[in-house]
């Protein structure tokens, strides 16, 4: 036994020396401990629960390469830092599209990062290899095109109107309620209706816990830890759920809800074919033209959970953050309300997404809300298996994971002056020039498939809330809408109860 311990110790010492002095990244700036092992990230992301992203921000200030060659075509000094044994992080918005390019350039996902997506291992988002990812993505992408979402708008209306009815009921009682939780319930019902042909019914009992939201937050809490556990996906099938429940309530929530979604998918696959007017995503995932390996219950369950999680948090949080800022600046809200009246002449009217998109100030508000409400601020590392990437005077060897946080792009003062300020005017004055640096759904072949559905929900819900109700914030401040911890999703400050509001008036036609 002692011999094995000594051999292991010698191996770790030799590996550390290799990473520090002979590794292809050995000359890149960054802390030595981060280069030598993952212990540095473990300390900041597991011991301090999701704080590594802020340490990386600090490292860029410390190891900034402003003295390096800066191409004439960019105004950004930028910097590159080695944040792991085989990973560099670049803080330069002009290089974002090079890290996250379109389909023509092959990028694989970092396997270390993928470990946190343990429950989604058979889904598109957790597919590391470029070719398989593109096949899976391209099959589902057609159902999220702008035309497809416009076609299914009538199927969104019942859940959105039900949300408005609940807001009105809250107004009649003067109750305080959490706007982000209500919006997430709406998002879950909309997404599940598109997935399965019927909503999961969270809006039917709005005070009931949204278990899909609980899954998302549970996965995010244990996600950083899971990146340090090899073969976690296999282990979860071997360890009894009863044991996991005693060890971790977070993982218990995930596995129990996975079983529920799995049962729904199994029933859906056994049911007769759905009429085309109610065609669902599960029907598409079970397309007979797909290989049998792509139509297994495990695969369809994982993909369904992926869509549900994305549809729950992204839209709901963006709506809540946008409304927080509007309620904090009433002149801004009143200006928006007057513009919305061009489409919603009566408060009881229901708008189309395309009609609302034509309103310039509403569009600016939506873009600014999305900029400040990133559901994920993590660094999302990818690697090129074939080519050497070049950033300024740095040659990044093939196989090196490269990342850049979307939050750093959106907080860049050179692009967005006073970046923490909610300022829709920046989108009206800058025109389309800012869109190059607008990345709330990532960019390229790995961007969010459901972004058009998110846009449609967000435009309609924000417009209806502004047109139909006067609301006030209740004990809610900037810490409640500002990223604090990073996991699979962004976490607010400890103890935050979300965006809480009261309805002060229901507006008449």
Pick left, alpha or beta for residue 205 (phi over 0 → left; psi -120 to 50 → alpha; otherwise beta).
beta
**CATH number for region 100-380+411-506:** 1.10.630.10
Strands of the sheet with 108-109, listed across from one edge: 80-84, 87-90, 401-403, 382-383, 108-109
Q: What CA–CA distance (Å, rounded) separates 306 from 219?
A: 12
**How is the chain split into domains, by residue range?**
1-99+384-410, 100-380+411-506
CA angle, residues 168, 155, 346, in degrees to nearest 5: 45
Please report, in angstroms and rounded to a whole number, the separation of the first and last CA atoms in the chain.
80
Q: What CA–CA distance (Å, rounded) separates 380 from 488?
A: 10
Query: What integer pLDDT is reported at residue 232 of this predicted model?
Result: 62
**463-496 pLDDT tens trace:** 999 999 999 999 999 999 999 988 878 888 888 8
Q: What CA–CA distance (Å, rounded) separates 485 from 449?
A: 25
Please name every residue paired with 89 in a beta bridge, in sequence order, or none if there are none: 81, 403
Task: Give the contacts of 25 (CB within 8 A, at least 6 positions apart).
Answer: 19, 35, 82, 85, 86, 88, 397, 400
Full-model pTM:
0.92
User: Is 14 part of any known ligand binding site?
Assistant: no
Q: What CA–CA distance (Å, rounded) separates 320 from 481?
A: 9
The bridge status of strand 177-178 relative to strand 382-383 is: unpaired
Secondary structure, 3-state, 194-212: HHHCCCCCCCCCCCCCCHH
Closest Cα to residue 443, out of 479, 417, 396, 405?
405
Task: Give the contacts of 189 (CB within 8 A, at least 6 positions apart).
Answer: 159, 162, 199, 200, 201, 202, 203
Query: What integer pLDDT is reported at residue 464 of this predicted model?
Result: 98
Task: Give the contacts of 103 (CB within 8 A, at least 6 positions apart).
Answer: 134, 444, 445
Strand, helix or coil at 402?
A: strand
CB distance 355 to 341 below 8 Å: no
Closest Cα to residue 218, out of 309, 111, 319?
309
CA angle, residues 488, 491, 494, in degrees to nearest 5: 140
Q: What CA–CA distance (Å, rounded) separates 315 from 290?
A: 30
The bridge status of strand 485-486 relative to strand 490-491 is: antiparallel
Residue 491 DSSP one-character state: E
CB distance 128 to 109 below 8 Å: yes
Low-confidence ranges of the chain (pLDDT < 70): 65-78, 208-209, 211, 231-253, 255, 272-278, 431
Query: What integer pLDDT is reported at residue 494 of this predicted model?
Result: 82
Q: What CA–CA distance (Å, rounded) separates 421 from 368?
A: 9
Rg of the Cα atoms in the chain: 23
Query: What integer pLDDT is reported at residue 248 of this predicted model?
Result: 61
Pick left, alpha or beta for residue 127 (phi over 0 → left; psi -120 to 50 → alpha; otherwise beta).
beta
* C-alpha distance from residue 387 to each of 86, 127, 298, 383 (Å): 15, 21, 34, 9
Query: What integer pLDDT is reported at residue 44 of this predicted model?
Result: 94
Closest Cα to residue 28, out of 346, 393, 375?
393
CB distance 160 to 464 below 8 Å: yes
H/E element, 150? helix 146-151
């Amino acid at each position: 036994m002692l011999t094995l311990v000594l051999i292991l110790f010698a191996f770790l010492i030799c590996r550390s020396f290799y990473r520090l002095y002979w590794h292809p990244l050995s000359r890149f700036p960054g802390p030595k401990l981060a280069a030598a092992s993952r212990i540095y990230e473990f300390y900041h992301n597991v011991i301090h629960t999701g704080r590594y992203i802020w340490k990386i921000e600090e490292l860029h200030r410390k190891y900034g390469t402003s003295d390096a060659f800066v191409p004439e075509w960019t105004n950004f000094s930028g910097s590159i830092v080695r944040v792991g044994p085989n990973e560099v992080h670049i803080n330069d918005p002009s290089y974002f599209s090079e890290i996250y390019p379109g389909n023509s350039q092959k990028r694989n996902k970092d396997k270390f990062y993928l470990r946190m997506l343990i429950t989604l291992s058979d889904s598109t988002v957790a597919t590391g290899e470029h070719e398989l990812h593109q096949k899976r993505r391209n099959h589902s992408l057609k159902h999220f095109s702008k035309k497809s979402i416009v076609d299914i708008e009538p199927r969104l209306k019942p859940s959105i109107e039900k949300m408005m009815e609940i807001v009105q009921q809250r107004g009649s009682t003067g109750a305080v309620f959490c706007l982000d939780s209500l919006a997430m319930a709406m998002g879950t019902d909309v997404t599940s209706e598109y997935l399965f042909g019927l909503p999961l019914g969270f809006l039917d009992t709005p005070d009931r816990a949204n278990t899909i939201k609980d899954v998302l937050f549970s996965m995010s809490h244990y996600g950083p830890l899971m990146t340090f556990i090899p073969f976690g996906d296999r282990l979860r099938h071997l360890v009894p759920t009863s044991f996991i429940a005693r060890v971790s309530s977070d993982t218990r929530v995930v596995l129990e809800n996975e079983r529920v979604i799995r049962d729904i998918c199994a029933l859906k696959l056994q049911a007769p074919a759905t009429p085309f007017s109610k065609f669902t995503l599960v029907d598409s995932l079970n397309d007979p033209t797909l290989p049998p390996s792509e139509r297994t219950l495990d695969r369809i369950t994982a993909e369904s959970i992926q869509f549900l999680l994305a549809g729950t948090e992204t839209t709901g949080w963006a709506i809540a953050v946008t409304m927080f800022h509007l309620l904090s600046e009433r002149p801004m809200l009143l200006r928006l309300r007057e513009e919305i009246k061009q489409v919603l002449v009566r408060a009881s009217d229901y708008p189309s997404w395309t009609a609302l998109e034509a309103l310039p100030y509403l569009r600016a508000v939506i873009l600014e809300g999305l900029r400040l409400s990133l559901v994920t601020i993590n660094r999302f590392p990818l690697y090129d298996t074939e080519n050497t990437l070049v950033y300024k005077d740095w040659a990044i060897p093939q196989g090196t994971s490269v990342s850049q946080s979307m939050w750093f792009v959106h907080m860049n003062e050179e692009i967005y002056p006073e970046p923490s300020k909610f300022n829709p005017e920046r989108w009206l004055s800058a025109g389309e020039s800012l869109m190059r640096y607008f990345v709330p759904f990532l960019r390229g072949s790995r961007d969010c498939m459901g972004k058009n559905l998110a846009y449609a929900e967000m435009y309609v819900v924000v417009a209806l809330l502004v047109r139909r109700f006067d609301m006030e914030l209740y004990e809610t401040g900037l810490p409640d809408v500002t990223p604090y911890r990073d996991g699979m999703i962004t976490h607010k400050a400890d103890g935050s109860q979300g965006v809480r509001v009261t309805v002060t008036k229901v507006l008449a036609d």
